[in-house]
Amino acid sequence: PHPFLADFDGEKITVEKDLLEGEPFESPMMPFGGNEQLAWSPDSRQIAYTCRKKTGRDYATSTDSDIFLYDIATKTTRNLCKPEGWTAPSETDYTRSLQNQPVNAKNGQDANVGYDQNPQFSPDGKYIAWSSMERDGYESDRARLCVYELRTGKKSYVTEGFDSGVDAFLWSPDSKRLYFAGVWHGKVNLHVADLKGKLRQITDDPADYSLVSLLPGEKQLLVKRHSLSRPDEIYTVDVKNGRVAQLTEENKWFYDHLAWGDVKERWTKTVDGQKMLSWVIYPPHFDPTKKYPTLLFCEGGPQSPVSQFWSYRWNFQIMAAQGYIVIAPNRRGLPGFGKAWLEEISGDYTGLCMQDYLSAIDDIASEPYVDRERLGAVGASFGGFSVYWLAGNHNKRFKAFIAHDGIYNTQQQYTETEELWFANWDMGSAPWVKNAEGQQQKAFRTSPHLYVDRWDTPILCIHGQRDFRIEYTQAESAFTAARLRGIPAQLLLFPDENHWVLRPQNGILWQRTFFRWLDKYLK
């Protein structure tokens, strides 16, 4: 896609102008970009757009997108993220993580080399704010709010004091503040930052918020809010005291006729002495004198938070309604617990993050109401990788596994994925590149497929055949390996799905297959 500019007299469009005419680039950026990556100036004289102006191997291995400003009168474009004369590294090694490779800047000027996207002009037209990541190749870097002063070219990062990433954001009407949503300790709450970087948290609910708009007068925010027990509804939030008022309840009749499980916060001590947050979802009408089968939920990403998200597929209330306790840990590598916790997974897929999963299931299994003989582990994407790895390293803890769109063989997956920057950063390099000790990176030396000789537990493998992030051959390979080992296994492939299950009928089949498998081995 390209952004176009045109005149409109109320009846017809004329004088069309392609802002990227003749250029082999895209804006908005594929695959997820939309109108949020474009912005009009308040005086309608300028357009800001997001673009990653790279092709070939650079496009496949770099996340370096920029904010460009197009002047309608002069028909000129300038890059707001790079100083004039800036050049990219001349000798890029496309098979290694970009985190240790050089970045060139002219005259000591700074250059934004990570993801820069989603520009918004301030109402007074003096500033542009956008979401900015610091490092090239790291798509899960902390997203900061960058504020660019158009008159001086000065950039400031007003959320440096928030040790997590920024989601959606809004300008205040007087252009002095920015409201934003951000995850912290398993909840996506609302915050406000002024242009000097002074921060204030507005809400502190067990919920996830997303911004819609500021209401006139700047006294209230219009927001969407959901939790592990409720889908999105519309609310207002008082910007001073955080008081929440619900405006819609479209599903009240259904809520009133369903039994819901309790959701509780649980903190577990990890093997290295830190504290880890898990959400525990209990079956409706939970009776602590009984024993329940229990599921360990393994999150994907691998840097996606286990917040108060509402999912129509990985829905913990549905799992609880089937009689399962669910424990969902915020293991190493998930945002909302500081930079160090987030980045301990980079280059180490099978280290502390996997020990965190075992700590979580061992902790909940110590409760008298958990049946230790009926434990299962389920997950998608990196969660699927986790399931495949746990299958060979669980020491007979689990009685059933389900892996959806997971990585089974990291060496194979490296050259299959369409996001090579992701593999380079998280795995460290290509499989054929050796470290100083003459070894492959740890991600390849500890790939799940190397532990198949230890597999001993029934496993269901699910995959979409249009998944180019992680090819469906990963599930086929895992299924075949299990069957050759004489282990009960089932393979479910969706010919018309990608990395997610998006079609309603497929979603129903997914749920039925999921619970039939669990019920067979855990009930």
Q: Does residue 153 sit in the same domain as residue 165?
A: no
Q: Does residue 247 sit in the same domain as residue 275?
A: no
Count Cβ atoms below 10 Å from residue 322 Cβ, excluding itself.
Answer: 17
58 phi and psi angles, rounded to 5 deg: -60, -40
Q: Does residue 197 sit in the same domain as residue 322?
A: no
Q: Is residue 462 part of a domain?
A: yes
Sheet holding 489-494, edge to edge: 263-269, 275-281, 325-329, 292-298, 370-380, 400-404, 459-464, 489-494
Q: Are strands 370-380 and 292-298 parallel, antiparallel or unpaired?
A: parallel
| The total number of structural domains that make up the chain | 3
The residues facing 338 across adjacent strands are none
Domain boundary among 114, 137, 157: 157
Q: Judging by beta carbons within 10 Å of its beta carbon (0-12, 13-18, 19+), is residue 429 exposed, middle or buried?
A: buried
User: pTM for the whole thing?
Assistant: 0.95
Which residues are the active-site residues?
381, 467, 499
Q: Is residue 315 part of a domain?
A: yes
Q: Is residue 350 part of a domain?
A: yes
The closest alpha carbon to 491, from 470, 519, 460, belongs to 460
Average pLDDT over residues 357-379: 99
Q: Please give the structure tokens belonging to residue 397.
A: 């803890």
Q: Does residue 461 carry a pLDDT above 50?
A: yes
Which of 7-11, 300-304, 481-485, 515-519 has the lowest average pLDDT? 7-11
Q: Does residue 214 sit in the same domain as residue 264?
A: no
**Assign residue 348 a region: left if phi > 0, alpha if psi is -120 to 50, beta otherwise?**
beta
What is the domain-level CATH number for residue 153? 2.120.10.30
pLDDT band at 109 (very low <50, low <70, confident <90, very high): low
Q: Is residue 5 part of a domain?
A: yes
Average pLDDT over residues 123-131: 98
Using CA atoms, how far apart are residues 362 and 372, in angstroms rounded to an integer? 9
Using CA atoms, how far apart are residues 508 and 231, in angstroms rounded to an integer? 18
Q: Per residue in 198-209, pLDDT tens? A: 999 999 999 999
Q: Is residue 96 part of a domain?
A: no
**Could you tell me if 65 and 117 are in contact, meaning their C-beta atoms sit under 8 angstroms apart?**
yes
Q: Is residue 99 part of a domain?
A: no
Q: Does residue 144 sit in the same domain as residue 174?
A: no
**Could you tell me if 97 and 425 are in contact, meaning their C-beta atoms sit under 8 angstroms apart?**
yes
Q: Does residue 210 sit in the same domain as residue 325?
A: no
What is the domain-level CATH number for residue 220? 2.40.128.660
What is the domain-level CATH number for residue 491? 3.40.50.1820
Give residues with Cβ within 8 angstroms of 25, minimum separation 6: 51, 52, 53, 54, 55
pLDDT band at 86 (very low <50, low <70, confident <90, very high): confident
Q: Does residue 111 sit in the same domain as residue 59?
A: yes
Q: Please give the structure tokens belonging to residue 522.
A: 């855990």
**Could you tell me if 299 and 278 are in contact, meaning their C-beta atoms sit under 8 angstroms apart?**
no
Q: Does residue 2 sit in the same domain as residue 71?
A: yes
pLDDT band at 77 (very low <50, low <70, confident <90, very high): very high
Give residue for tokens 């306790």. Answer: 325
Q: Is residue 101 part of a domain?
A: no
Q: Judging by beta carbons within 10 Å of its beta carbon (0-12, 13-18, 19+), is residue 462 exposed, middle or buried?
A: buried
Instruction: Please give the residue that has the higher pLDDT: either 382 or 436.
Output: 382
Q: Does residue 45 carry a pLDDT above 50?
A: yes
Q: Does residue 249 sit in the same domain as residue 268?
A: no
Count Cβ atoms below 10 Å from residue 175 Cβ, excluding itself.
Answer: 18
Q: Does residue 416 sit in the same domain as residue 454?
A: yes
Average pLDDT over residues 82-96: 72
pLDDT the model gives residue 14: 84
Q: Is residue 65 part of a domain?
A: yes
Alpha helix (H) residue ranges in 465-503 = 473-484
Domain boundary among 238, 257, 276: 257
Q: Does residue 339 sit in the same domain as residue 216?
A: no
Q: Does residue 326 sit in the same domain as residue 416?
A: yes
Q: Please give the structure tokens belonging to residue 403.
A: 């892996």
Q: Per residue in 147-162, pLDDT tens? A: 999 999 999 999 999 9
Using CA atoms, how far apart are residues 73 and 163, in angstroms rounded to an integer? 41
Could you tell me the residue range of the domain that residue 45 belongs to?
Answer: 1-89+106-157
Give residues with Cβ within 8 angstroms of 352, minimum separation 6: 270, 271, 272, 332, 344, 345
